[in-house]
Chains A and B, each alone.
Chain A
């Protein structure tokens, strides 16, 4: 007797619906046990984690603020991953977008520059991300250098470039020589959408990106090309698709989106360029991309969900004094459950009686 995993012949609609619910139930049970061991009320914990953030308009807004960069970056990354291109340096592209966009905010600071500044910053930020992403893309296309290494290493370099700028040339002249630029002028700041909330116009841009990506992947030749190259590279070659160009294309798109997310974050919620502008968005977005099954709408949901776990975890630290590390453990476990249940949509576990050895023996004999 043994448990084996096998593919379902058809996608299970029932499981597709039930999967998130099962994941949540499993998480609730696990969390309840852990919280109870700590001597706290599990019901309160679950309420703090998953219900309160969704019922308070402020935290609801904060979930959107947190999800905005994650979704935007993850959409770009999903295109790479669909085409089997391994960009894991979105964090660096995010930072370079923030840096390049901030350049305009810094040079126009205190001048009477008009409303052109913000749009120009968004363009510059996008370009910054694209250029930073094209370095690993070109290294792969021209020299065959693996993009996992190059894109990852450039994250550290981007971080240090920003560090150099805010400690030197771009330092706020009135900032007592601390490492930060001057606060951005209103013309260089993304407007917020509601009073008393940090939700900003960038979230709308993120939604537009989701829609555009859906259309591109579903309705255009380019989207088809990305899927084919990723799924069947040989077939793609016969079809005349150039994989080199696709590497450049997907890297450019994902770098551009990460860069745009970076400048939006700096010109929006943060308001200055300073070290630490990204709490690891570029890496968290990789989880979001796969959690969303590399599908734009899925990514939107996954981004909001992951943001909820951050905000809920913070609420638990405040109102229940649950340590940060424990909230990370919860987050990890929750992700595992969601991923595992998601896998059950395509697979099922069966208990079989046949000893595997016998099957192998015959294969070995005939091979």
Chain B
């Protein structure tokens, strides 16, 4: 009950705070469009944390609004436009499916700055931004390759989009760097919001003999299953150590706060420019949770890998990258695959014995 009262109090305070702040003049109104509920513990939750960090850092210079659970179909264009029409000067749309609606609204409101996460269409008042999550995946692969006794990893995917595919590939390449014979079993759950199904998938993988579970789904369900089965797992989007103190090896943390603060400041200073931001470990848009439940040598190797990726001496997709047929993939980036190849990745690398979805 105390907790409930606290929640109510916090909610009341938050509302009181926003209404108070509304009275002050010339503050920047920043809007956010979220795909899921803010309490999804995953993707949307991390954007919400980023928003809160921005509010904390910029205080009464900004006023923020968010719309959660915004459908990616017909509703999103209206939701974005509603924010544009109500005086929001900077609008973040935080899921790939908002791309075309964001482009359309941005065209109609040339003075308002738009930022679309994970997309590729830009305009003079529309930036794109995303994290190089594959960098973290490579480190996880290295750890998994070292830690797996059976040499079989389990991977739970949400939907086969390029970001997830590049994550799987980076994981395998990382694992192969320490164990060339590593195998992976992949299950697609075709949902982002069903913890029960994620748990089912984790159980199926564990039952089929994998001893490390990696996931590209939102909830801590897979970690909990791994904990029950006494095997190891990685978190996703945020640090999930709480749900598996003896299970989580590390987790890729989406760290949007610094970027949101930077962009809001740029608008306040009048220096905002449209562009494409794709940052990783170096700029701390992707952060690794503490390396836990592993021996010191593995931890040291993980830290070394992280440092090498951050300072640019190691690229997870360094050429040659071999496709499933064993032939090297065209190397457009000189020494490694270029960003376009990674952003639109739709092939599996050698060593994955599964069929690439959609092919």
Which residues on B sit within 8 Å (CB–CB) of A40? 15, 19
Smallest beta-carbon distance B115→chain A, Å: 18
CA distance A269 to B75 in the complex (A): 9
Which stretch of A105-113, A204-212, A314-322 is in the interface?
Answer: A314-322
A324:B67 contact, CB within 8 angstroms? yes
A183:B72 contact, CB within 8 angstroms? no
B73:A276 contact, CB within 8 angstroms? yes
CA distance A171 to B345 in the complex (A): 14
Closest to B118 in A: A178
Complex A-B: 16 CB contacts under 8 Å: A58-B85, A62-B78, A163-B190, A171-B358, A176-B340, A177-B161, A177-B162, A196-B108, A269-B77, A270-B73, A277-B74, A279-B73, A279-B75, A315-B82, A323-B11, A324-B37
Q: A39-B16, A270-B73 are in contact. Are A183 and B65 (CB under 8 A)?
A: no
Which residues on A sit within 8 Å (CB–CB) of B81? 58
Closest to A159 in B: B190
Mark A residues whose CB is within 8 Å of B: 38-40, 58-59, 62, 65-66, 160, 163, 167-168, 171, 176-180, 183, 196, 198, 265, 269-272, 274-279, 311, 314-315, 317-319, 321, 323-324
B159 within 8 A of A: yes
Q: A176-B344, A274-B72, A321-B65 are in contact. Are A314 and B82 (CB under 8 A)?
A: yes
Smallest beta-carbon distance B307→chain A, Å: 30
A168:B100 contact, CB within 8 angstroms? no
A176:B73 contact, CB within 8 angstroms? no
Additional pairs, 20, CB under 8 Å, beyond known A39-B16, A66-B74, A180-B100: A38-B15, A39-B19, A40-B15, A62-B78, A177-B161, A177-B162, A177-B345, A179-B159, A183-B100, A198-B78, A265-B74, A270-B73, A279-B75, A318-B65, A318-B83, A321-B18, A321-B65, A323-B11, A324-B37, A324-B67
A279:B71 contact, CB within 8 angstroms? yes
Which residues on B sit within 8 Å (CB–CB) of A59? 82
Question: Which of B12, B65, B68, B97 neighbours the largest number of chain A CB atoms within 10 Å of its CB?
Answer: B97
Question: Which of B18, B67, B75, B79 neighbours the largest number of chain A CB atoms within 10 Å of its CB?
Answer: B75
B343 within 8 A of A: yes
B160 within 8 A of A: yes
Closest to B31 in A: A318
Which residues on A sit within 8 Å (CB–CB) of B12? 38-39
CA distance A278 to B73 in the complex (A): 6
Smallest beta-carbon distance A90→chain B, Å: 16
- Which residues in chain B, 82-134, are within 8 Å of chain A measured between CB atoms? 82-83, 85-86, 96-97, 99-100, 108, 120
B69 within 8 A of A: yes
Closest to B160 in A: A167
B219 within 8 A of A: no
Q: A269-B77, A317-B67, A318-B86 are in contact. Are A178 and B161 (CB under 8 A)?
A: yes
Which residues on B sit within 8 Å (CB–CB) of A275? 72, 97, 159
CA distance A215 to B67 in the complex (A): 42
CA distance A102 to B149 in the complex (A): 49
Smallest beta-carbon distance B195→chain A, Å: 18
CA distance A183 to B100 in the complex (A): 8
Q: Which 6 A-B pairs have the closest CB atoms?
A: A168-B358, A279-B71, A176-B344, A276-B72, A277-B73, A177-B346
B275 within 8 A of A: no
Smallest beta-carbon distance A270→chain B, Å: 5
Closest to B108 in A: A196
Closest to A325 in B: B37
B100:A276 contact, CB within 8 angstroms? no
Which residues on A sit within 8 Å (CB–CB) of B359? 168
CA distance A276 to B77 in the complex (A): 13
Closest to A310 in B: B75
Closest to A279 in B: B71
Smallest beta-carbon distance A259→chain B, Å: 16
Which residues on A sit within 8 Å (CB–CB) of B85? 58
Q: A39-B12, A58-B85, A65-B78 are in contact. Are A274 and B73 (CB under 8 A)?
A: yes
CA distance A139 to B224 in the complex (A): 42
B357 within 8 A of A: yes
Closest to B12 in A: A39
CA distance A200 to B11 in the complex (A): 39
